[in-house]
Amino acid sequence: MAEQKKTATNAPLFTKDNYTWMLIGGAIVALGMFLMSGGKSNDPKVFDTNQVYSTVRITIAPILILLGLGVEIYAIFKKGK
């Protein structure tokens, strides 16, 4: 019988560096979601357009979410050392 080559099938898929980048990406996404939420009015009969359509909620928060997803993609495809 010929000896079979041993392959590294039990090697971990991600390294500590990958998980660190995943946590950073998750934190950026969470920050974007937090910035997008809110805008509660004290009086439910009053609609304040400045709170609902603020620059933070319609521009900065979605950019942060997309940036966080980009960091997550980078973390997944990053090769270990």
10-63 pLDDT tens trace: 878 889 999 999 999 999 999 999 999 976 778 878 888 888 888 989 999 999
Q: Cα–Cα distance between 63 and 40 in angstroms, integer?
A: 22
What is the reported pTM?
0.78
Average pLDDT over residues 64-73: 98
- Give the rounded percent of residues in the chain with a pLDDT score beyond 70: 89
Instruction: Give the 3-state DSSP-derived string for the chain, with helices as H, strands as E and coil as C.
Output: CCCCCCCCCCCCCCCHHHHHHHHHHHHHHHHHHHHHCCCCCCCCCCCCHHHHCCHHHHHHHHHHHHHHHHHHHHHHHCCCC
Confidence of residue 2 (pLDDT cuts 50, 70, 90): low
Give the number of other Cβ atoms within 10 Å of residue 38's Cβ: 10
Residue type for 15, please?
T
